[in-house]
Structures are given as C-alpha cells and as structure tokens.
Amino acid sequence: MKRIAAYALCASLAATPLAAQDADSDLQEGMDLLSEGTKLLLRGLLGEIEPALRELEDALRDMNAYHPPEVLPNGDIIIRRKTPRPVPPGENGEIEL
C-alpha cells in the first residue's frame, strides 16, 4: 500500500510540469494578444495625431523667420521678422493701422 502511494505521488509530481507548460503557453498567448492589441492602438493614435504633428512641424519652421522677442522699456513685447513683408499701400498711398 505504501508503494502505491509513493507511485501515485511520483506520478502526480511528474504530471505537474505538464500543467505548468500549459499555463506558460496560455500566458505566452495572452502576452502575444496584448502586444498585438497595443501595436494596433498605437498605430491608430499615430494616424489620428499625424496631421496635427505636421502642422506643428510647419509652425516650428515658420519660427525661424523671426528674431527673438524684445521687451521694450514700457513693457511692450515686439517680435520682428528677419525679412519684413512689404506693406501694400492703401488708397492714396495711405497705410491702414
């Protein structure tokens, strides 16, 4: 009877790694699905954000057309263009302010 209990104990211990391997394969499959879902989510977000990023890139390029801001003694802040745009005169050569 003791031998049967010992054999049963050995058989149950031998079968335990098989159950652990199933758990590992389930865990691996779950991690793969989670990874794939994350990739799809990030691709979708990047697709939605891409136009805004392009606009931001264009705005940053436009910033190179300006000198750094100057603070005047009266507190006004002036941001000058590096190459000023020509102001088209109005009627009778007047410039509208």
Report DSSP letters for 4-20, one per residue. Answer: HHHHHHHHHHHHHHHHH
Is residue 64 within 8 Å of residue 58, measured between CB atoms? no
Can you tell me the distance from the alpha carbon of 52 to that of 97, in angstroms, rounded to the nearest whole number? Answer: 33
Domains identified in the chain, total number: 1
Q: Note the pLDDT tens digit of each residue in 64-97.
A: 788 899 999 999 999 888 887 777 766 676 766 6
Instruction: Tell whether 50 is covered by a domain.
Output: yes
pLDDT value at position 73? Answer: 94
For residue 38, CA distances in Å to 15, 33, 47, 52, 59 come to 35, 9, 14, 22, 31
Instruction: Tell whether 95 is covered by a domain.
Output: no
The domain of 34 spans 29-83
The percentage of the chain sitting over the pLDDT mark of 70, rounded to a whole number, equals: 66
pLDDT value at position 40? Answer: 92
Instruction: Tell whether 21 is covered by a domain.
Output: no
Can you tell me the distance from the alpha carbon of 34 to that of 42, in angstroms, rounded to the nearest whole number? Answer: 12
Instruction: Tell whether 13 is covered by a domain.
Output: no
Other C-beta atoms within 10 Å of 1: how many?
5
Instruction: Tell whether 92 is covered by a domain.
Output: no
Instruction: Tell whether 68 is covered by a domain.
Output: yes
DSSP 67: P
